[in-house]
Copies of this chain bind each other. A is one copy, B any other.
Amino acid sequence: MNPRINPGDTIGILGSGQLGRMLAMAAARLGLRTHIYAPDRGPALDVCAQATIASYEDEEALAAFAASVVVVSYEFENVPASTAAFLAARRAVRPGPKALATTQDRLTEKAFLNASGIPTAPFAAVDDLAGLQAAVESLGLPSILKTRRFGYDGKGQVMLRDASDLAQAFEALGMQPAILEGLVPFTREVSVIGARSTQGAFAAWDVCENEHTHHILSRTLVPARLKAETAQAAIDMTGRIAEALDYVGVIAVEMFLVEDTTGGETRERLIVNEIAPRVHNSGHWTIDGSVTSQFEQHVRAICGWPLGSPRAHGRIDMRNLIGADADHWHELLEQPGLCLHLYGKHEARPGRKMGHTTRVLDENEPFTEDPVN
């Protein structure tokens, strides 16, 4: 399906969280209306033209949703495969089913990456306790046991340090199909946010350098402190992944930087950790810091429109506001040059992403180490 989409048309987004919210606002800038479909009322509902609150299994609601929109996209990769298939039979779903199927399952994703010549951490499938024991013998300890599906922000994973922990760890994950990953001695985490158009054009922003606290992204610096050839390699790798997935939309690829200093000279190597088939938290700075935001780029791509320029306005310091961080909104508004975004969530639960701040730094302004903006 390759619909001809015009300003004034309505696009459909699955999910009502902050990503759906920022997608709906980007669509509105381009004269498009947004129909949000989600099982529960989230902050995207405050800025969309139309909304359906129904389960992902409600075929009547899904059919009406599909009939009301010209293209369907989503804010998260855990859309049930049956929902995606139901919608894809009626409307273009972008990114397509292949991207969803590949990235929903850590094992499928890593196998796909290796088959495409992209390095990952060593891994082994784990279907039962015997399989876990065999995997540990092959990869060694410490290593990380992760559920194959539905993990995010460190959920659904456990670090294995001791061979006596195995049964308990497997039980802690619910004895579901899992993957064991060998530990990679990385020095930094980076991500590439790129986009691929329906015509196969690819554009990426500068590489992002990410810091996590309790497995949740806390800070993104742009451009990442990498050698120029390493940054280019990261972007090229992302373009190859997007092409191999026949991808349409914004894609985020998280990578580990491994530094090898044997022989006195530092060599940088990249290992892909994870693919997100959607707009990504480490790309939120593009709203304030780039000619085209990742949200607008995603909308352009899924509509079959030309991609926009990913040029940055300067170096960037983006911070997440997690839980009670957002209580400091008034102090943040007072900081000169800081852009504040709040997602309109009612309750600031611990670990919950409530907003973010972006600072576009002047030419010679250093990144500060100050943890509060």
Give the interface of A toward B (CB within 8 A).
Answer: 7-8, 21, 24-25, 28-34, 45-49, 288, 291-292, 300, 305-306, 308-309, 311, 313-314, 326, 329-330, 333-334, 336-337, 339-344, 346, 355, 360
Contacts of A292 in B (CB 8 A): 339
In the complex, are the beta carbons of A333 and B308 less than 8 A apart?
yes
Q: In the complex, which residues of chain B have a beta carbon less than 8 angstroms from the beta carbon of A355?
A: 31
Whether the Cβ atoms of B333 and A300 lie closer than 8 Å is: yes
Q: How near does chain B come to A307, taking the closest CB pair, in angstroms?
A: 9
- A341, chain B: closest CB distance, angstroms: 5
Query: Looking at the complex, which one of B8, B21, B340, B342 makes contact with A346 (CB distance below 8 Å)?
Result: B8
Q: How many copies does the complex hold?
A: 2
CB distance from A216 to the nearest CB of B (A): 19
22 contacts between A and B (CB under 8 A): A7-B344, A8-B344, A8-B346, A25-B28, A25-B29, A30-B341, A30-B342, A46-B49, A47-B48, A47-B49, A288-B291, A292-B339, A300-B333, A305-B330, A306-B330, A306-B333, A306-B334, A308-B339, A309-B336, A309-B337, A311-B337, A313-B314
The contact of A7 among B34, B305, B342, by CB within 8 Å, is: B342
When C-beta atoms are compared, the residue in chain B nearest to A300 turns out to be B333
The reply to whether A291 and B337 form a contact with Cβ atoms under 8 Å apart is: yes
Cross-chain contact A33 with B344 (CB below 8 angstroms): yes
